[in-house]
């Protein structure tokens, strides 16, 4: 439930991001694209621009299709603000802890926190989701793509 002002702000933001995404696609087309196995300079900018455009356009369409009734629930609004602030603090702690404890431990703790505190789930879901996230990102980025991720004192 959002207010008419929030709906209008969402429409404007989505429209601006859609326009920005289209402009980025136009600019990214001037760079060589390459292929998925041998990406050139324009590969990453084009993928990001297309992704931004699609998501922003979807939000824009959705904002016109959904009808919301105004809500005056200040408690719900305060809860959303608190969750947003807690997420921001968690991401800042994650950024500073990344080099000290390593990618695996820092990411595991961040995802567990998000699954337990921000969007409450059972412990088994939080711990399992965090473990799967760390394993998948390790395989994709470290093994497949060869990205050097921060290694903590425990070797992961």
What are 98-147's pLDDT values in tens digits? 989 999 999 999 999 999 988 889 999 999 999 999 999 999 988 898 88
In a domain, 152, yes or no: no
Instruction: Among 35-39, 85-89, 151-155, name the one with the lowest average pLDDT.
Output: 151-155
- Assess contact for 115 and 129: CB atoms under 8 A: yes
Tokens, residue 141: 């980025």
Where a domain ends, among 22, 40, 65? 65
In a domain, 149, yes or no: no
Question: Distances in Å between the alpha carbon of 136 and those of 92, 140, 154?
Answer: 23, 6, 19
In this structure, the answer to whether residues 56 and 93 fall within a common structural domain is no
In this structure, the answer to whether residues 8 and 47 fall within a common structural domain is yes
What are 22-69's pLDDT values in tens digits? 999 999 999 998 888 888 888 889 999 999 999 999 988 988 887 655
- pLDDT confidence tier of residue 156, bands split at 50, 70 and 90: low
Range of 33's domain? 4-65
Please, what sign has the CA dihedral across residues 49, 55, 61, 64? negative
In a domain, 86, yes or no: yes
In a domain, 70, yes or no: no
Where a domain ends, among 65, 96, 112? 65
pTM over 0.85: no
C-alpha 2/C-alpha 66 separation (Å) is 11
The number of distinct structural domains making up the chain is 2
C-alpha 31/C-alpha 29 separation (Å) is 5
Question: Distances in Å between the alpha carbon of 28 and those of 15, 42, 66?
Answer: 20, 6, 33
Nearest to 69 by CA among 10, 11, 7, 14: 7
- pLDDT confidence tier of residue 155, bands split at 50, 70 and 90: confident
C-alpha 34/C-alpha 148 separation (Å) is 23
């Amino acid at each position: 439930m959002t207010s008419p002002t929030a709906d209008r702000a969402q429409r404007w933001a989505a429209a601006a991001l859609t326009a920005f995404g289209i402009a980025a696609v136009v600019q990214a087309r001037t760079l060589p694209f390459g292929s998925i196995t041998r990406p050139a300079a324009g590969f990453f900018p084009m993928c990001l621009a297309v992704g931004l455009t699609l998501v922003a356009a979807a939000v824009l369409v959705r904002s016109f299709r959904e009808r919301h009734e105004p809500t005056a629930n200040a408690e719900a609004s305060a809860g959303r603000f608190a969750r947003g602030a807690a997420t921001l603090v968690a991401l800042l702690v994650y950024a500073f802890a990344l080099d000290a404890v390593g990618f695996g431990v820092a990411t595991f703790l961040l995802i567990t926190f998000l699954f337990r505190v921000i969007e409450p789930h059972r412990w088994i879901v939080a711990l399992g989701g965090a473990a799967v996230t760390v394993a998948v990102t390790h395989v994709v980025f470290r093994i497949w793509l060869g990205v050097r991720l921060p290694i903590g004192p425990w070797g992961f």
